[in-house]
Amino acid sequence: MTSQSDRSSSTLLGAAEAEALEQKLRRAVDDGDSASVVRLVEEEWPVLMAVAVPALDAALHALPRELWVAHPTAAAVRECRLNVRGDTSDLDRLAMNTRLPSQPPDLRKVGRSGSARKAMSTAAAFMLAYRLHGQYRKALHFATITEELTRHACVAQPGRIAIRVPSAILQVGITRLLAGEYHRASLLLREAYELRDETWDGRVGGDAAGKLALLFAIRGHTVEAERWLSRHDHGAGSLGWMVPLVQLSAKVAAVLIAVDRLDQAASETALRELEIQVNRERSWAPFVTYARSRYDLLWGDPRTALNRIDRTRAFTGVYHRTAGIEPRLDAVRADLLLAVGRTSEAQELLAERQDSPHLAPVAARLALLADKKPAAREHIAAGLAADEVDLRSQVDLLITSALAEDSPATGRRHLQQAITAAAQGHSYSSFALARRSSLVDVVNAMDTSDRARAEKFLSMAPEPLPLTIDLVELTATEEKVLALLAAGEPRPRMAQLLFVSENTVKFHVRNLYRKLGADSREDALARAHHLRLLQTTDA
Contact indicator for 42, 73 with CB cutoff of 8 Å:
yes
Q: Quick check: is 445 in a domain?
A: yes
Contact indicator for 305, 292 with CB cutoff of 8 Å:
yes
What does the alpha-carbon distance between residue 40 and residue 19 come to, in Å, rounded to a whole number?
14
Which segments of 52-162 does DSSP mark as H helices, in order? 53-62, 65-69, 72-82, 89-95, 104-111, 116-132, 136-156, 158-161
pLDDT of residue 19: 81
What does the alpha-carbon distance between residue 188 and residue 165 come to, in Å, rounded to a whole number?
11
Average pLDDT, the chain: 88
What does the alpha-carbon distance between residue 50 and residue 16 come to, in Å, rounded to a whole number?
14
Q: Quick check: is 236 in a domain?
A: no
The model's pTM: 0.85
pLDDT of residue 539: 36
Q: Are residues 447 and 504 in the same domain?
A: no
Q: Are residues 117 and 70 in the same domain?
A: yes
Q: Is residue 105 exposed (0-12), middle (13-18) or buried (19+ Cβ within 10 Å)?
A: exposed
Q: Are residues 14 and 108 in the same domain?
A: yes
∠ CA(220), CA(459), CA(390), 5° rounding?
15
Q: Quick check: is 317 in a domain?
A: no
pLDDT in tens, 32-87: 999 999 999 988 888 888 878 889 999 998 888 788 888 989 989 988 887 656 67
CA distances from 90 to 19, 135, 387, 437 (A): 32, 13, 37, 58
Q: Are residues 388 and 450 in the same domain?
A: yes
What does the alpha-carbon distance between residue 336 and residue 343 come to, in Å, rounded to a whole number?
10
What does the alpha-carbon distance between residue 202 and residue 195 come to, in Å, rounded to a whole number?
11
Q: Quick check: is 34 in a domain?
A: yes
pLDDT of residue 239: 61
∠ CA(14), CA(17), CA(21), 5° rounding?
135
pLDDT of residue 281: 60
Q: Quick check: is 300 in a domain?
A: no
The residue among 410, 430, 460 that closes a domain is: 460
Span 435-442, average pLDDT: 90
What does the alpha-carbon distance between residue 527 and residue 348 come to, in Å, rounded to a whole number?
8
Distance of CA 214 to the CA centre of its chain: 10
Residues above pLDDT 70, as percent of the chain: 92
Q: Quick check: is 114 in a domain?
A: yes
The dihedral region occupied by 274, where left means phi > 0, alpha psi between -120 and 50, and beta the remainder, is beta
Length of the chain: 539
> Does residue 137 have a pLDDT over 80?
yes
The total number of structural domains in the chain stands at: 3
Contact indicator for 374, 342 with CB cutoff of 8 Å:
no
Span 157-161, average pLDDT: 87
Q: Are residues 160 and 128 in the same domain?
A: yes
pLDDT of residue 276: 52
Q: Are residues 133 and 14 in the same domain?
A: yes
SS3 call for 434: coil
pLDDT band at 2 (very low <50, low <70, confident <90, very high): very low
**Enclosing domain of residue 532:** 476-538
Q: How many CB atoms lie within 10 A of CB 426?
A: 18
The residue among 138, 173, 200 that closes a domain is: 200
Least confident of 192-196, 493-497, 528-532: 528-532
Q: Are residues 510 and 434 in the same domain?
A: no
What does the alpha-carbon distance between residue 51 and residue 455 come to, in Å, rounded to a whole number?
52
**Residues in CB range of 212: below 8 A, 6 or more apart:** 186, 189, 190, 193, 225, 228
Q: What is the DSSP string of 384-406?
A: HTSSS--HHHHHHHHHHHHHH-S
pLDDT of residue 361: 95
Q: Are residues 532 and 406 in the same domain?
A: no
Q: Are residues 45 and 123 in the same domain?
A: yes
Span 264-282, average pLDDT: 77
**Residues in CB range of 241: below 8 A, 6 or more apart:** 53, 279
Q: Quick check: is 337 in a domain?
A: no
Highest mean pLDDT among 14-28, 227-241, 252-266: 252-266
Q: How many CB atoms lie within 10 A of CB 194?
A: 13
> Does residue 108 have a pLDDT over 90?
yes
What does the alpha-carbon distance between residue 286 and residue 308 come to, in Å, rounded to a whole number?
10
Q: Are residues 37 and 105 in the same domain?
A: yes
* Cα-Cα-Cα-Cα dihedral sign, residues 251, 327, 436, 414: negative
Q: Are residues 444 and 482 in the same domain?
A: no
Q: Quick check: is 276 in a domain?
A: no
- The letter for the amino acid at 345 is E
> Does residue 13 have a pLDDT over 60?
no
The residue among 175, 200, 225 that closes a domain is: 200
Q: Are residues 184 and 79 in the same domain?
A: yes
Contact indicator for 398, 406 with CB cutoff of 8 Å:
no
Domain of 515, CATH number, reads: 1.10.10.10
Residues above pLDDT 90, as percent of the chain: 56
